[in-house]
Amino acid sequence: MEHFLEKYKIKLKVSSGKSENTMQSYFRDLNQYHSFLDTKLKIKSIKNVTLGNIRTYVRFLNDRGMSANSIKRAISSIRNYHNYLIEEKKMKDNPAYHIKTPKVNRKLPTVLTVHEIDIIFNSIPNNDKMAIRDQNIFELLYSCGLRVTELCDLKKDDIRADSGIIHIKGKGQKVRYVPIGPIPLKNLIDYIDNVRPDLAKSNPKVKEVFLSRNSKKLTRMMIWILLKKWTEHANIKKDISPHTLRHSFATHLLEGGADLRSVQEMLGHADITTTEIYTHLDKEHLKQVHREFHPRF
């Protein structure tokens, strides 16, 4: 069975347009699925897989305590894999077609208040080069709503200073243009002109904007560690990640009166229903205001 899976992986890499992280999740799902069919169900040919086999596998995932969201992704991966096998004439029907995916309750993301954002930013010193770099990282994540991988991949040529726009290559290599305000733009240009040259000394050809001490592109984990360091320094108790700054960007825009379509465009969401979660956050904000200030609550 494995050679079918390897061919499918090659096809996904070439044609799917998915991010590397998404691809790795799909591959883990399918590797585990194949292993279960082989070791637990003793199925040696993918052609013999039935609807009952896949239901057994889904129960196995559920018994292991896998989240509804992860099970939903695994079922989608399996269904798409069997569709590929039908296209390749290795199977006649898709045994995963009638598998029901679990309902996923959307968890409202953590956001920072504008005051908390200010506390973090104001706690970072402006007389240290690494701190100045970190300040600009957090400013871009919040001011432009970037995904952390988009920030890691950001290159100097992506910054269109004259027009106040940043060129972003997002999920599936989709390009979008995100506005950057005059204050974060000025700070970013100052960083590029006065701090980045020292960071790039041992690797002058490096194109990424944000670099480590050894002139290498920063990773997602490094940025997470930096944010944790500075939020603890600012005595912010919330459990936050770099994505929290993106959530805060969207929430604060909607609270300020921005329309949903514009926020969708800036975030790079393919489907507006993904953006709509922030309208729920906005409603929670209104309810909180009502609880705090209405005399009859």
Distance from C-alpha of 55 to C-alpha of 98, rounded to nearest angstrom: 10
Of 79, 90, 243, 285, the catalytic one is: 243
91 and 157 in contact (C-beta within 8 Å)? no
3-state helix, strand, coil in the chain (%, to 5): 60, 5, 35
Catalytic residue among 18, 171, 217, 285: 171
Distance in angstroms (rounded) separating the CA atoms of residues 140 and 121: 12
Distance, in Å, from the CA atom of 231 to the CA atom of 223, rounded to the nearest integer, reads: 12
261 given a catalytic annotation: no
Q: Which of 25, 27, 5, 23 lies closest to 15 in space, CA to CA?
A: 23
Catalytic one of 73, 82, 147, 196:
147
Q: Which of 133, 246, 247, 252 is catalytic?
A: 246
DSSP class of 125: -
47 is known as an active-site residue: no
Burial of residue 276 (number of CB atoms within 10 Å: 0-12, 13-18, 19+): middle
Q: State yes or no: is 243 an active-site residue.
A: yes
82, 133, 247, 269: the catalytic one is: 269
Q: Which helix (H) or strand (E) holds 32?
A: helix 20-39
Helix 260-267 to helix 242-255 angle (10° resolution) is 160
Dihedral sign, CA of 286, 289, 295, 297?
A: positive
For tokens 């960083």, the residue is 191
- Is 233 marked active-site? no
| Tokens found for residue 109 | 């993301």
Q: CA geometry: angle at 292 spanning 286 and 294, to 5°? A: 85
Note the helical H segments in 180-219.
182-194, 196-199
Contacts of 153 (CB under 8 A, 6+ apart): 169, 208, 217
Catalytic residues: 147, 171, 243, 246, 269, 278
